[in-house]
Amino acid sequence: MAIAQASTSSVVGKSVKRIDVQEKVTGAAQYTDDIAFGNALHHCRVKRSPHPHALIKKINYDKALLIPGVKLVVTGEDFPEYVGLYLQDRNIFARDRVRFVGEGVAAVVASTEEIAEKALDAIDVEYELLQPVLDPEFGASKEAPIIHPDLEKYEHPNFIFPVNGTNMANHFKIRKGDTEAAWPQCAAIVEHTFRIPQVQHVPIEPHVAIAKAEENGQVTLWASTQSPFAQRALLAKSLHIPESDFRVIAPLIGGGFGCKAGVTMEAIPVAAALKLKGVPIKLLLTREEEFYTNFVRQGLVIKLKVGCDKDGNLLAMENTMYWDGGAYTEYGVNVTRAGGYSSTGPYDIPNMRTDSICVYTNHPVGGAYRGFGMAELHTGVGQIMDMLADKIGMDRTEFHLRNCVRGGDVLATGMVIHEVGLPECIDKVARALKLGEKEAPSAPNKLRGKGIALAWKAPAMPPNAGSSALVKMNADGTVNVSVGGQELGQGTFTAMAQIAAESLGVPYEAVKVLGPIDTRYSPYEWQTVASRLTWSMGNAVRNAALDAKKKILDIVAEAWNEKPEDLDIKDGYVISYKTEESIEIKDFVVYGLPKADDQGWLGGPIVGAGSFMPTYVTGLDAETGQGERAVVHYTTGAQGLDIEIDKDTGRITVLYAASAFDVGKAINPDMVRQQMEGGFVQGLSSAMFEECQLVGGEMRNPSFVDYRIATAIDVPEKIDTFIVETAQDDGPFGARGIGEHPLVPVIAALANAIYDATGVRITNPPFSAEKIYMALLEAGVVN
Amino acid sequence: MHNPHPGLPELDYVKPASLEEASRFLVEHAGEARPFLGGTDCIVRIRDGAWTAKYMVDVKGLEGMKDLSFDPQKGLTIGAAVPMNKVAADPAVQQHYPGLVEACHWVASYQLRSRATIVGNICNASPAGDTIGASILYGGVLRVFGPQGFREVPLDGFFKGPGKTTLQPGDIAASISFPLSHPQHACRYLKLGRNKLGDLAIVGVTVMAVPARTPSGYHFGIVLASVAPVPLRAAAAEAILESKEIDEAVIAEAAQAAMDGCKPINDTRGGAAYRKQMVRNLTRNGLMDVWTKVRK
């Protein structure tokens, strides 16, 4: 018999309409490139290195300055300071040497983009070529030329471990248990090396930034960015601007996926603006520049060895990762740290030895990319677990279930993990896929198979990355919530409105969270990265809303001569549980309440403030990687695919995909599902198509002609998504992040499905039709 | 270092009032002027620096360029500026030249095909041109206006290399005509790109079967895309298919001959070895398909 439930007005957990849907679908939403600056606007173009590794002997730009319309040329001489998020290894322009093809050596500012571009040809740069490092394993060796001779001088936080005198910008280690002692006890051991190429984020909106410096010292940057506050902090330091004078305005953004985090090309117009006061200067990257001059996802060579006992219990793993960090690793070093502390994947392994090595190469610069190292790591771990299950002769799903992390497990870093719903995720995906059930292909020339892979990821960030929020009450009962986190398509403004509405006790429709983020007016947020906003900014918004609520209730309590504990706010009314009195909040949240008999007033404009910063993340030992709490928490999940492969062409058709992730609490279930679908599709794209084809340091396919991404027709018609909710103790309403995670397991899951379909293990993405066909041909599956 | 340029270089847009004027301008500016139709190749190639034209000569509006006509006795004429979407949507083309419709559907995207033209696709002379194979197999003849007036140029021998044709400065392809197709013919275009749609061909195979008085009872036509400097006619395979009674084994033999007769290159889109294999497999599949259809 059904039990009647008390009706609640809860908006958390409801798939309310996105707050920004109208402006986006009608095209009214304003992006950075849409902002008009009038005739004063000048344009910037960048002179770039054609060489992967060379010394700069001389730069002569005299001729460029003579071109009518050219206002300014700047070079590395003008800006000696370093900039960088974690390891400060980068100048705004190359100074003594260039380290990758496409690195900026000078910039021209001119009245038009065409003139600026033309002036680049009038800049002569004399180079002395050096041997490039084009492979991370070679780069880590003693034979490799040193790319950053000044490594030892670079500033970095205490959790980054550069190896001075080498190309190793970070060497993260885990030594847990005794792997050497464990190997003899293993009934099955698998060893394999996997290679994952660089890929690019491919935001549909390329990077764009406009900067203007005023005579009074004020500097403004308008940018398509995930990180207005980090950009303010890093550029202010590098260019000696007080943070209070430096304003970053961040309109809506057309895709970031990590490449618009930290500071990259934005530094160039800001630097130029400081030399040309009063003039707004714009730099808009071409698609080609987007591909090879800004961040890419690092390449990875991952060498894995893993063993289990006769019952399939994992006993030990050795994981050696050589990350192709590219020419600068200011951001990338922390990708390799994340790869290190999560290097088991979501498995419980008692004996662990990890070396996660970030290597400088003369390749494009590695940076944050949705998943932050996890997709690359899981490409290896997710495959080798299937290989080991096969070797020990155990059902693959059973093997994953037996070994996956569970609440209370001691992780490789020594951290005890909170409750996670990973077994439930595996179960849901396995059932949806009918995993283990061999199904017939649709035609005789097709092979059909299924694969599953698990994923985990923790927010990767400094231990003390903070958030803040303001809740401002209006006289009509509406509420403005100010945040510093960026709406980059993920729906964070909507989720924040839901959290604020729920916490404050007002209808969702009454709450507005709007951009642009403006460092002058918006409260601080570290960066919009790491799948951390719902959790971290959500906590700040909740705290701000609770602060406003407390202020509201205090006023009413005084007016009604009641205790605040007996009062609550529901649907925009303060109600008393004791007296059943009520008052609409709009009547007093700005103008206050009159005291009786016209004897003065109570209250005043209500502004709630809240912040959040995790205070409980501890350091890890440099030699063993052991510590109390490496990360705040992990989001875990599983994903699987049912595929067909055409034996005539090698082409994959994905028939069906299923994802299940434990998000703690889905603030907005539809948006959680959209993240699961979108992450899967982006992951599938990287699994099937994407690769920066680097030859001699030069990218051969920097355009959509030859860098293919998945389109609607490449995606399965049906994708099922399952939301698992094991509440997170430090998250708002129990929520944790989901933005990156669905991308993480795709490559491994697809590789496992290909193996299931063909009996041929093809380990290194992208799994192009050609790669599959030629492997099948070699294996004799086709002839 | 690949092109990081933000836009087109400076160039003049010229819109002549007549074919004579256009031709004269193109002669006078030989080497620095290009006729353009939909612009879907021109704009891209000029931005890439592959072409260094100073003048783009818009010939879209000239007489007859936008006409599409079908005559049940004579066949089909497609003006040079008729966009592919219009061709593909035409009922007469759909009925009599289904292979051309299929080929159009494989070009880039719907949006692009609202500008892209078949004559432009042919004159651009990419070995990967999707509509070229069908145009050849349907017996397409270009009507070219040059300094000496109009002349007819069959596609056989027209292609000289990637981007190279027998057209001379001052020549403007005004239309393409196709004779009436055989009512029992079958034609397919099988294209393999990296994505399922919207990509350039790694390999493309156009096959046609027409009932004929040959030992096999059919004429077969096979044109291969992206495996040679020009669209490649698989003559040895065609010969096998006309000389023997058709069965699966003969089709396999012909497909093998098509594979053996091409020498593709390695490029960013695909390797030579894979391309050869795909020529065989797609030719075989295409032939099976058209044979099954014409046999009915």
Domain holding B47: CATH number? 3.30.43.10
Q: How far is A156 from chain B (nearest CA, A)?
A: 32
Q: Is B282 on the interface with A (CB under 8 A)?
A: yes
Size of interface A-B (CB pairs under 8 A): 77
CB-closest option in A50, A768, A770 to B1:
A50
Q: How confident is the model at residue B192 (pLDDT cuts 50, 70, 90)?
A: very high
What is the value of ipTM here, to two decimals?
0.97
Within 8 A of B289 by CB-CB distance, chain A residues are none
Q: Are residues B157 and B213 in the same domain?
A: no
Within 8 A of A774 by CB-CB distance, chain B residues are 271, 273-274
Residue B26, in any domain of the structure: yes
Number of domains in chain B: 3
Average pLDDT, chain A: 97
Tell the burial category of A670 from Cβ atoms under 10 Å away from its Cβ (0-12, 13-18, 19+). Answer: middle
Range A191-211 average pLDDT? 98
pLDDT, position A620: 97
B4 with A714: Cβ contact below 8 A: no
B195 with A689: Cβ contact below 8 A: yes
Q: How confident is the model at residue B209 (pLDDT cuts 50, 70, 90)?
A: very high
Contact A33, A205 (CB under 8 A): yes
Q: Is the pLDDT of residue B4 over 70?
A: no
Q: How far is B105 from chain A (nearest CA, A)?
A: 14
Range B249-270 average pLDDT? 97
Residue B261, in any domain of the structure: yes
Range A569-588 average pLDDT? 96
Q: Is B274 on the interface with A (CB under 8 A)?
A: yes
pLDDT, position A6: 39
d(CA A401, CA A418): 17
CB-closest option in A648, A713, A768 to B194:
A768
Average pLDDT, chain B: 95
Q: In 3-state terms, what secondary structure has residue A670?
A: helix
pLDDT, position A445: 96
User: Which residue of chain B has the CA closest to A651?
Assistant: B194
Percent of chain A at pLDDT > 70 equals 99
Residue B25, in any domain of the structure: yes
Range B170-179 average pLDDT? 98
Within 8 A of A783 by CB-CB distance, chain B residues are none
Domain of residue B36: give its range.
12-58
Q: Tens digits of per-residue pLDDT, B123-138?
A: 999 999 999 999 999 9
Q: How far is B98 from chain A (nearest CA, A)?
A: 23
Q: Tens digits of per-residue pLDDT, A265-274?
A: 999 999 999 9
d(CA B229, CA B231): 7
Within 8 A of A197 by CB-CB distance, chain B residues are none
Q: Are residues B30 and B51 in the same domain?
A: yes
Within 8 A of B201 by CB-CB distance, chain A residues are none
Q: Are residues B118 and B156 in the same domain?
A: yes
Q: In 3-state terms, what secondary structure has residue A169?
A: strand
A286 with B4: Cβ contact below 8 A: yes
d(CA A561, CA A577): 13
pLDDT, position A52: 98
Q: Is A244 on the interface with B (CB under 8 A)?
A: no
How many alpha carbons fall within 13 Å on the CB side of residue A705? 13
Range A173-190 average pLDDT? 98
Q: Is the pLDDT of residue B5 over 90?
A: no
Q: How confident is the model at residue B278 (pLDDT cuts 50, 70, 90)?
A: very high
Q: Is the pLDDT of residue A748 over 80?
A: yes
Q: How far is A472 from chain B (nearest CA, A)?
A: 43
Q: Are residues B227 and B259 in the same domain?
A: yes
Within 8 A of B274 by CB-CB distance, chain A residues are 770, 773-774
Q: Tens digits of per-residue pLDDT, B27-40?
A: 999 999 999 999 99
pLDDT, position B50: 85
User: Which residue of chain A has the CA closest to B193?
Assistant: A769
* pTM for this model (two decimals): 0.97
Q: How confident is the model at residue A621 (pLDDT cuts 50, 70, 90)?
A: very high
Q: Are residues B203 and B103 in the same domain?
A: no
Range B160-169 average pLDDT? 97
Within 8 A of B248 by CB-CB distance, chain A residues are none
Single out the residue in B161, B179, B197 at which a domain terminates: B179
pLDDT, position B2: 58
Q: Is the pLDDT of residue A12 over 50?
A: yes
Domain holding B95: CATH number? 3.30.465.10
Radius of gyration of chain B (CA): 19
Within 8 A of B192 by CB-CB distance, chain A residues are 649, 651, 769
Tokens coding A369: 């990319």
CB-closest option in A113, A648, A708 to B195:
A708
Range B257-272 average pLDDT? 96
pLDDT, position B3: 59
A713 with B195: Cβ contact below 8 A: yes
CB-closest option in A284, A292, A649 to B278:
A649
Q: Is the pLDDT of residue A645 over 90?
A: yes
Q: Is A708 on the interface with B (CB under 8 A)?
A: yes
Q: Is A438 on the interface with B (CB under 8 A)?
A: no
pLDDT, position B1: 59
Q: Is A715 on the interface with B (CB under 8 A)?
A: no
Within 8 A of A693 by CB-CB distance, chain B residues are 268
Helix (H) or strand (E) holding A478: none
Q: Is B5 on the interface with A (CB under 8 A)?
A: yes
pLDDT, position A73: 98
Single out the residue in B119, B149, B179 at which a domain terminates: B179
Q: Are residues B190 and B168 in the same domain?
A: no
Within 8 A of A286 by CB-CB distance, chain B residues are 3-6
Q: Is the pLDDT of residue A9 over 60?
A: no
Domains contained in chain A, CATH given: 35-129+220-277 (3.90.1170.50), 299-461+619-779 (3.30.365.10), 467-612 (3.30.365.10)
Q: Are residues B246 and B222 in the same domain?
A: yes
d(CA A592, CA A603): 5
Mark B200-227 as b/e (b = at least 16 C-beta within 10 Å): bbbbbbbbbbbeeeeebebbbbbbbbbb
Range A695-705 average pLDDT? 96
Residue B30, in any domain of the structure: yes
CB-closest option in B2, B6, B198 to A699:
B2
Residue B6, in any domain of the structure: no
Q: Are residues B223 and B291 in the same domain?
A: yes
Q: In 3-state terms, what secondary structure has residue B246?
A: coil
- Output the CA–CA distances (angstroms, integers) from residue B115 to A49, A727, B84, in the order listed: 37, 54, 7
Residue B86, in any domain of the structure: yes
Q: Is the pLDDT of residue A8 over 90?
A: no
Q: Is B227 on the interface with A (CB under 8 A)?
A: no
CB-closest option in B1, B10, B273 to A48:
B1
Q: Is A131 on the interface with B (CB under 8 A)?
A: no
B194 with A713: Cβ contact below 8 A: no
User: Which residue of chain B has the CA closest to A646?
Assistant: B281
Q: Is A705 on the interface with B (CB under 8 A)?
A: yes
Residue B7, in any domain of the structure: no
Single out the residue in B157, B179, B201 at which a domain terminates: B179
Residue B256, in any domain of the structure: yes
Domain holding B200: CATH number? 3.30.390.50
User: Which residue of chain A has the CA closest to B108?
Assistant: A705
d(CA A147, CA A169): 10
Q: Tens digits of per-residue pLDDT, B102-115?
A: 999 999 999 999 99
Helix (H) or strand (E) holding A113: helix A113-120
With tokens 């399922």, the residue in question is: B196
Q: How confident is the model at residue A2 (pLDDT cuts 50, 70, 90)?
A: very low
Q: How far is A228 from chain B (nearest CA, A)?
A: 26
How many alpha carbons fall within 13 Å on the CB side of residue A519? 27
Tell the burial category of A301 from Cβ atoms under 10 Å away from its Cβ (0-12, 13-18, 19+). Answer: buried
pLDDT, position B8: 85
Q: Are residues B206 and B269 in the same domain?
A: yes
Tell the burial category of A78 from Cβ atoms under 10 Å away from its Cβ (0-12, 13-18, 19+). Answer: middle
A769 with B3: Cβ contact below 8 A: no
CB-closest option in A101, A113, A649 to B192:
A649
Within 8 A of A293 by CB-CB distance, chain B residues are 4
Mark B255-283 as b/e (b = at least 16 C-beta within 10 Å): bbbbbebbebeeeebbbeebbbbbbbbbb
Q: Are residues B204 and B290 in the same domain?
A: yes
Q: Is the pLDDT of residue A7 over 50?
A: no
Radius of gyration of chain A (CA): 27
Q: How far is A770 from chain B (nearest CA, A)?
A: 6
A706 with B269: Cβ contact below 8 A: yes
Catalytic residue numbers of A read: 740
Q: Is A155 on the interface with B (CB under 8 A)?
A: no
Nearest to A189 by CA among A56, A315, A45: A315
Q: How confident is the model at residue A3 (pLDDT cuts 50, 70, 90)?
A: very low
Q: Tens digits of per-residue pLDDT, B59-93?
A: 999 999 999 999 999 999 999 999 999 999 999 99
